[in-house]
Amino acid sequence: MASLHVSTHPLVAHHMLVLRDPATEPPAFRRVVRQLTRLLAYEATASLPTTDVTQRTPLAEARGRRLADRIAIVPILRAGLGMADGLLEIIPDAEVWHIGLYRDEHTLQPQEYYNKLPPNCGATLALVVDPMLATGGSAVRTCEILRDAGIGRIAFLALIASPQGVATLERDMPDVAIHVAALDEGLNDVGFIVPGLGDAGDRQFGTSPH
């Protein structure tokens, strides 16, 4: 699993417990999703290319570095929206492209229902975000859509992944870096990550059945 990066940061481990707790209400859940995404993003973007620049300060000139990439954030709807918000807090100049996929409950295959990529996808790096990397089908399909649009570099960020989902994404998209907060035991018989945290979309947006 050369492309897999599982965070070992103590704050990531701490916040993951809050997400897993079924007593965590949607407002707190959304806040922690944003916090975890920022922490993952610091690790996922540590080696981004930069250009040397000179910036005038109130006192003198300072040498610095500016990001060289044109970055697109690509949340997989709907659960990826909270992670996109977290990324925008630290990369406010990024573009946001939306791709909507749902998983057929019988076949577990991704079904595309929404695609809002710009006519000219000029980004040099796409950061795909989805809280759960379960079977890997939606992740692969999203990366295929981006590849077809001419995006050469892609990184995938998830909060929790299953070994099966990681294996699928690595097999079909071997050059996509995968950054996750936790790698769980596996999938149950309906394709949910175990122990996981439940349905990330429902828990973010308050639509869990009661």
Annotation says 56 is catalytic? no
CA distances from 108 to 46, 79, 126, 131, 205 (A): 34, 17, 25, 17, 23
Q: Find the catalytic residue in 31, 69, 172, 202.
A: 202
Annotation says 199 is catalytic? yes
Q: Find the catalytic residue in 20, 103, 147, 153.
A: 103
Q: State how far the Cα of 77 lies from the Cα of 115, in Å rounded to an integer.
A: 10
Is there a cis peptide before residue 147, judged by omega within 30 degrees of 0?
no
Annotation says 50 is catalytic? no
Q: In which residue are the tokens 């996922």 written?
A: 44
Q: Which DSSP helix (H) or strand (E) runs through 156?
A: strand 154-161
Taking Cα atoms as reference points, which of 101, 98, 70 lies closest to residue 84?
Answer: 98
Annotation says 142 is catalytic? no
Bridge-based pairing state of the strands 193-194 and 186-187: antiparallel
**What residues are annotated to the active site?**
103, 107, 199, 202
